[in-house]
Amino acid sequence: MPISLEKIGFKTLKLKIMGPLIPNDIIPFEWNSIIAIVIGIFFGFILEASGFSSSRKLAGVFYGYDFAVLKVFFTAAIVSLIGLLYMDYLGYVDMSRLYVHPTYLWGAIIGGAVMGIGFVTGGFCPGTSLCAVAIGKIDAIVNVIGIMIGIFIFSELFTFFEPIYNGYFQGNITLMDSLDVNPYWFVFILTVVAILMFAASDLIRKRVKKVFY
Amino acid sequence: MVNRKLVKFLSFRYIILSIVFIVLAGGLVVLPKFEKQEGIEPEKLLADAISPERYISTDVLADRMINQDPTLLLIDLRTAEDYNKYALPNAINIPIENIFSKDYEGYLNQVEYDVVLYSNDNFKADQAWILCKRLDYKNLRVLKGGINKWYSTIINPEKPTELMASKAFDLYSFRKAASMYFGVAYPQKETEKRVVAKAKPKVTTTAKVVVPKKKKKKMPVEGGC
C-alpha cells in the first residue's frame, strides 16, 4: 500500500506559480502573440508619450543636448535586472529558463556599428522610427523606407554575408557567464556606474548650447 | 496654489531615485546567499519515490517486448561482465558508475522513450532511479525484482498448483509462452517444440513476404492522367 505523504510529515503539493509564465505553462503558449501585441501597444504609446518619436531628441545623445534616450534605456535595463534578480532570489522567476539571446560576436559588432551609423544619421532606431511613422513624421517614413531597402540588400547578398551572420557563435551567453563575475556585485557596480553616468551626462548637457526643438 | 513643500521635495527627485536604486542594488549584494535547489523539489521526489507507479513488473515488460513496443528502452545497470553473460534483448549496458558520464546522458535524459532500468534485483536500479529522478529526468521506470525476478517469472515460471485460481493458470500460460518467445525450449513437449520451431521461421518469412507484397502493390500503378 502506498504511504500517504501527510503521514510522514510532508505537506501536500501545491501548484507553485513560478515565472517565466509561458515556458512554465502557467499561461498557455497560444497567448504568446496576444500578449506581445498588448505589450507592443503600451511600448509604442510610452515611446511616443516620452517624445521618442522625435529624431532630434534621439540624436541629442550624440550631440550632447539631450540624454533622455541614454537615461531611459539604461534605467529600464537596471530596473529589470534588479527586479529579475530579486524575483529569482525570492523564487518567483526561474532565471535559468529565461530566453537569452544568442551571441554571434562579429555579426553583433558589425551590425551594431551599422545600426549606430544609421541611428546618428537618421535619428531613429527601428522601433522609434515606426512609432514616428504612426504619428506621420516624414523623416521617419523616409527612414523606414531606408530600412526596407537595407533589408532587401541584405537578403539579396545573404550568401555573401552568411559566414559572418552565422559565424563566431558563442552560444546563449550573458555578460555574467563570459566575464565569470558575481551577478549581484556586477549589478551593483553597474547601477553605480549608470548613476554616475547620468550625473556626468547632466553636466555635459549644461555646458552644451541648448537646442530648442 | 503651489504646494511649496512638495515642490522642494520634488526638486530632489532624481537624487532620491538614485539612492533608491543604489540601496536596492546594494541589497542584492548584502542578501544572504543560499544554494539553489537543482532538479525537482524534494516533496515531488519523495512522492514519486513512494509511488508504486515507478515500477514495471516483469510481466508487463515481457508483454511490451513481445509486442515490440518501439518506445521501450532497456538499460542494464550491471557490470559489463554480467551484461555479456546475460542481458535482456536490446538492452543498453550502462554500469551504474557511469550513469552521469556524457556518453550515456542522452539515453537517460530524454523524453522520447520509456526507460526501464534494471539490475540483478531492483537495488542498483532504485539507486539509479533516485539519482536520475533528482535531476528531473523523465519517463524512468525500474524493473521490479530485476533480472532475478525475470528468471523466476518469465524464463522459469513456477507452475501453479491445482488449488490456485484460474488467473494464476492464465498468468502461467502467458509466462510460459513469453519464455518460449525469449528462447526457452521445453524438452517435455517435443511435438509442441516443432510447432514452435516452425512458427519462428514463419515470423521471419511473413516479414519477408511483406516486401514483395508492397512491390505487387506498386505494379498496378499506371500513369492515368
Answer for the pair B120, B78: CB distance below 8 angstroms, yes or no.
yes
**B30: CB partners within 8 A, 6+ apart:** none
Q: Is residue A37 scored above 70 in pLDDT?
A: yes
Q: Is residue A207 scored above 50 in pLDDT?
A: yes
B29 touches chain A (CB under 8 A): yes
Q: Is residue B213 scored above 50 in pLDDT?
A: no
pLDDT of res. A2: 55
CB atoms within 10 A of CB B128: 24
DSSP per-residue letters across A71-108: HHHHHHHHHHHHHHHHHHHHTSB-GGGS----EEHHHH
Q: What is the distance in angstroms between the Cα of A2 and the nearest Cα belonging to chain B?
A: 6
Residue in B closest to A8 by C-alpha? B46
Report the candidate in B80, B74, B53 with the shortest Cα–Cα distance to residue B62.
B74
**B18: CB partners within 8 A, 6+ apart:** A195, A198
Q: Which of B26, B31, B43 is the closest to A89 by Cβ?
A: B31
pLDDT band at A132, cuts 50/70/90? very high
pLDDT of res. B214: 45
B221 touches chain A (CB under 8 A): no
Report the candidate in A100, A90, A79, A96 with the shortest Cα–Cα distance to residue A17.
A90
Mean pLDDT to the nearest integer, B108-125: 89
pLDDT of res. A9: 53
B50 touches chain A (CB under 8 A): yes
Q: What is the pLDDT of residues B9-66, one digit of tens each?
A: 888 888 999 999 999 999 988 888 877 777 788 888 888 888 888 999 999 999 999 9
How many Å apart are CA B184 and CA A184, to the nearest integer? 65
**B127: CB partners within 8 A, 6+ apart:** B96
From the number of C-beta atoms within 10 Å of its C-beta (0-12, 13-18, 19+), residue A85 rates as buried
Answer for the pair B31, A184: CB distance below 8 angstroms, yes or no.
yes
**A71: CB partners within 8 A, 6+ apart:** A198, A201
Q: Is residue A38 scored above 80 in pLDDT?
A: yes
Answer for the pair B116, B123: CB distance below 8 angstroms, yes or no.
no
Cβ contact A13–B47 (<8 Å): yes
Q: Which of A13, A184, A192 is the closest to B28 by Cβ?
A: A184
pTM assigned to the model? 0.61
Q: Which of A164-178, B76-90, B112-126 has the lowest mean pLDDT?
A: A164-178
B12 touches chain A (CB under 8 A): no
Q: Which residue has the higher pLDDT, B69 or B197?
A: B69
Grid cell in block for residue B79 = 557490470
Q: Which of B25, B44, B51 is the closest to A188 by Cβ?
A: B25
pLDDT of res. A8: 54
Q: What does the DSSP 8-state code read for residue B89? A: T
pLDDT of res. B34: 78
Q: Which of A92-96, A157-161, B87-91, B194-198 has the lowest mean pLDDT?
A: B194-198
pLDDT of res. B203: 42
How many Å apart are CA A43 and CA B21, to the nearest integer? 23
Q: Is residue A91 scored above 50 in pLDDT?
A: yes
pLDDT of res. A142: 94
CB atoms within 10 A of CB A19: 19
Grid cell in block for residue B155 = 524464463
Grid cell in block for residue A92 = 518567483
pLDDT band at B215, cuts 50/70/90? very low
Mean pLDDT to the nearest integer, A63-87: 90
DSSP per-residue letters across B138-165: -SEEEETTHHHHHIIIIISPPPPPTTS-
How many Å apart are CA B127 and CA B75, to the nearest integer? 13
Cβ contact A82–B31 (<8 Å): no
Grid cell in block for residue B172 = 502461467
pLDDT of res. B118: 92
| Domain B2-146 fold | Oxidized Rhodanese; domain 1 (3.40.250)
- Residue ranges per structural domain of chain B: 2-146
Q: Is residue A104 scored above 70 in pLDDT?
A: yes
Q: Can you count the helices (H) and strands (E) in chain A?
A: 9, 2
Residue in A closest to B36 by C-alpha? A89
How many Å apart are CA B125 and CA B78, to the nearest integer? 9
Angle at B21 between CA B18 and CA B25, to 5 degrees: 145
Mean pLDDT to the nearest integer, A83-93: 88
Q: How many CB pairs under 8 A join A and B?
A: 52
B-chain residues within 8 Å CB-CB of A8? 46
Backbone CA torsion sign across A189, A190, A195, A201: positive
> Which residue is it, cell 531615485?
B17
A-chain residues within 8 Å CB-CB of B21? 78, 82, 191, 194-195
Q: What is the distance in angstroms between the Cα of A32 and the nearest Cα belonging to chain B?
A: 24
pLDDT band at A14, cuts 50/70/90? low
Report the candidate in B79, B77, B139, B152 with the shortest Cα–Cα distance to residue B110.
B139
A195 touches chain B (CB under 8 A): yes
Answer for the pair B193, B178: CB distance below 8 angstroms, yes or no.
no
For the CA atoms of A26, A30, A33, A39, the dihedral, rounded to the nearest 10 degrees, stands at -20
Q: What is the pLDDT of residues B58-68, one digit of tens each?
A: 999 999 999 99
Q: What does the DSSP 8-state code read for residue B31? A: S
